[in-house]
Amino acid sequence: MHTNTFHNFPALAFLAWLFLFSASPGAWAASKPADPHAGHDASASAPAPAPAVAPAVIPDVGPPKVAITPAARKALGLVVVTAEKKHLKKSIWIVGRVEMDEGRVVAVNAKVEGYVERLNASREGMRVREGEELCALYSQEVYATRQELAMLQKAKKQACTGGEVQGLLEKDAEALLRAGQQRLKLFDAAGQFDARDGRRLLLRSPIDGYVLKKNVTLGMRVGMGDPLFEITDLSTVWVTADLAEADMPLVAVGQPAIIRLRAVLGKSFKANLDYIYPFLSAETRTARLRFVLPNPDLELRPQMFAEIEMRIDLGERLVLPLDAVLDTGTRRLVYVEEAPGSFSLREVSLGVRGEDVIEIAQGLRPGEIVAASAAFLIDSETRLRGGGGGHQH
């Protein structure tokens, strides 16, 4: 019996030793023999001491928090701001171009068949006045109608007098005259004949403006409905511009704008937004805007480039400085001082961006204190020291 116990003692001792060291991992590390090469580079293996002013991360199951001592705050240059409502203004800059007012472009067409026997508006870009002759046409049909009217008027004067026959002749002559005059009106030829040569029908400019298109030459035959000229009035012009889709909720018809042109130095024009086109460009994802400008001196010419500034008053909004918000690409975060020296990470939703501030749509209340100038340093230190928990970039 004593012999068997003695023989089992080494096995029991080994099991006890294994249990003790498995329960105390530090004991195993202490029992390891020293590395003979450890003394050659002791400084490389030793961990670097933490800076004296580094923020201390507070472990927590909730949002990551960090405690910052007064010395650390001074070393980081940390500045805090208060979330508050302010009058938010935003400037939108867009590039536009001068265009003709589509409502002031007039087409001059031929309403009869004929030949161009005289051409006064002989080149595009030419200035014409309302009522000024553009060209003279010879039309056999119109000329024949005029001849018939002249014969009817002569017959009416020579009609026999007296009796029932006179009344019938006068009635027939009047009816024929009215029919002929109506035909001339349909030809747009009433009172439009050359006084020197009654064969020529004169086409005149309906407005003051400039010849935009000229589709005729001297001696050319024209048909009914052929477009001969396009004339545009440039006393008023449009300025159109493309607005980014994201800025569409900020603008409305009637909002003022300041327009500057590269070709007109030292001068700006004021205009109100006249129209927002009801469709977007599929390629650029932009909406087209239109402004109307008076142009009495012809300073503004079609296809000039323009720079448009729209200053929009957004009213009272809860705002923070731009550098107080950490944008990770998928989340927008701020560090809120919940207690003196203790900052907690919080996700917020952003609204409109101003010149140096940004609207906080959700996630903050007015009066809360937020880290501003060194927020990114706090964030970096928190993640490096293990306080990043659920903070994923």
Residue 224 phi/psi, 5-degree rounding, is -60, 125
What is the rounded distance in angstroms from the CA atom of residue 355 to the CA atom of residue 372? 16
Per-residue pLDDT at 141:
74
Q: What is the pLDDT of residue 29?
A: 42
Residue 270: strand, helix, or coil: strand
In 3D space, the residue among 145, 147, 123, 142 whose CA is nearest the CA of residue 134 turns out to be 123
- CATH placement of domain 92-102+234-314: 2.40.30.170
Within a 10 A sphere around the Cβ of 190, how many other Cβ atoms? Answer: 12
In the chain, ranges of CATH 2.40.30.170 domains = 92-102+234-314
Q: CB atoms < 10 A from the CB of 355, how many?
A: 9
CATH 2.40.420.20 in the chain, residue ranges: 56-89+316-384
What pLDDT was estimated at residue 183? 62
Longest dimension (CA), the chain: 175
- 56-89+316-384 CATH, one of 2.60.120.470, 1.20.120.340, 3.40.50.280, 2.40.420.20: 2.40.420.20
Mean pLDDT by 10 residues, the chain (393 residues): 44 39 42 47 48 49 71 81 88 94 92 89 94 87 67 62 52 62 58 60 91 94 92 96 92 95 90 95 94 94 95 89 86 88 88 86 91 66 50 45
Where b means 16+ CB within 10 Å and e means fewer, 330-347 reads: eebbbbbbeeeeebbbbe
CATH level 3 topology of 108-232: OB fold (Dihydrolipoamide Acetyltransferase, E2P) (2.40.50)
Q: CB–CB of 68/55 below 8 Å?
A: yes
Backbone angles phi, psi at 325, to 5 degrees: -105, 130
Q: How many CA atoms lie within 13 A of 138 on its CB side?
A: 10
pTM beyond 0.75: the answer is no
8 A C-beta contact, residue 67 and residue 56 = yes
